[in-house]
Amino acid sequence: MTIKTTLLAASISLAGLMASSAAYAQQPVNVSYNVAEGSSWHQGAERFRDLVADYSEGAFQVRLHPNAALAGGSDRVEMEMTQSGAIHFLIKSTTWMTGLDSRYQVLGLPWLFPDHDTANAVLDGQAGDTLLQDLEQQDLVGLAWGVNGFRQVTNSRGPITEPADLDGLRIRVPGIELYLAIFEELGASPTTMNFAEVFTALQTGAVDGQENPLSLIWSSRFHDVQDHVTIWNYSYDALAFIGSGPVWQGLSEEDQDMFRRAAKEAMDFQREVVKQEDIDLVAELENAGMVVTTLSDDQLSAFQEVLAPVYEQYKESLGEDFVSLFEEGVAAQQ
């Protein structure tokens, strides 16, 4: 069956469920995310499943689909199936969601957020609400914020303590303009590739390094093919818990409130998991043989100075008033 046929069949099936929430409540609820079991995403989804079972008194049966299994592992197909209603709820990194709306790049601006608590407070406020509301134009409903983690850099060449250490470093980055601009400004040689190809590229020396949150560095076993990791928290990677617009419209207001409450509580739990992982995994990576370099404030200031033009460039392109919502939110937490 083709993807198009699958989506059409799902839409036809969904149409029969729109008459009432009571009819829909007899059906399973699919939650999709393109990472493996055991990850913080999966733990958050498990909490959502349990909360929905409790709050709905068993009326809804949540089924979890790690590794984007319903979409054949494709992020793009996963999103399209959510927009059509074939997938009911989706957990997605906002790094990937910049393809839907370039304004999601604001969350990755260099050192915008100083820590997890500040980032959580800002995203749970007006600034984060503004981003989630934009999803309505994409047949999606933003329900809650989670976190993938602060992004760190690994490499096989040596410790990174100053911008000069990145000179000529062949580093894999996500296919997002902001990350390409950051590493080009630092003198590195950034390249993009599918995440599934990264381990082999590191193993064969096709690239020298990559950047990702510690949880993904650990679960992907990059410590087997990389010698060094630098802790610099240079960019924040959030998660959005998203509902399908067509499915959401078929729910009663009571059920919408229930799902929103469960999503928020599940993602608050997931945030705490990642916050602890960012502490615990430093020692785990050291025990696995990696050399961990944590940058001091003085060392960080040298990188921030180099990247100041990139920050200002993207503040202008994303909209100064829009970026100021986040800056003011951060300032209010200090």
Angle at 118 between CA 112 and CA 120, to 5 degrees: 105
Which of 8-12, 45-49, 200-204, 321-325 shows the lowest mean pLDDT across its residues? 8-12
Nearest to 29 by CA among 75, 70, 72, 73: 70
**Which residues, 6 or more positions from 112, have their beta carbon under 8 angstroms from its beta carbon?**
106, 236, 326, 327, 330
Interatomic CA distance for residues 5 and 1, integer angstroms: 6
Residue 251, φ and ψ in degrees, nearest 5: -95, 150
Interatomic CA distance for residues 43 and 227, integer angstroms: 29
Interval 210-228 mean pLDDT: 94
Beta bridge partners of 158: none
Residues 306, 185 contacting (CB under 8 angstroms): yes
The pLDDT assigned to 105 comes to 96
Q: Is the pLDDT of residue 71 over 80?
A: yes
Question: Between helices 320-333 and 116-123, what is the axis angle to 10°?
Answer: 130
Nearest to 78 by CA among 26, 49, 35, 48: 35
The pLDDT assigned to 326 comes to 98
Q: Is the pLDDT of residue 51 over 50?
A: yes
Q: Is the pLDDT of residue 4 over 70?
A: no
Give the distance from CA 286 to its chain's centroid: 25
Angle at 332 between CA 331 and CA 333, to 5 degrees: 90
Q: What is the mean pLDDT of the chain?
A: 91
Interatomic CA distance for residues 120 and 71, integer angstroms: 30
- In this prediction, residue 205 has a pLDDT band, given cuts at 50, 70 and 90, of very high
Decide: pTM greater than 0.85.
yes
Residues 260, 144 contacting (CB under 8 angstroms): yes
DSSP tag of 66:
G
pLDDT digits (tens, 9 = 90+) for 151-191: 999 999 999 999 999 999 999 999 899 999 999 999 999 99
Interval 266-276 mean pLDDT: 97
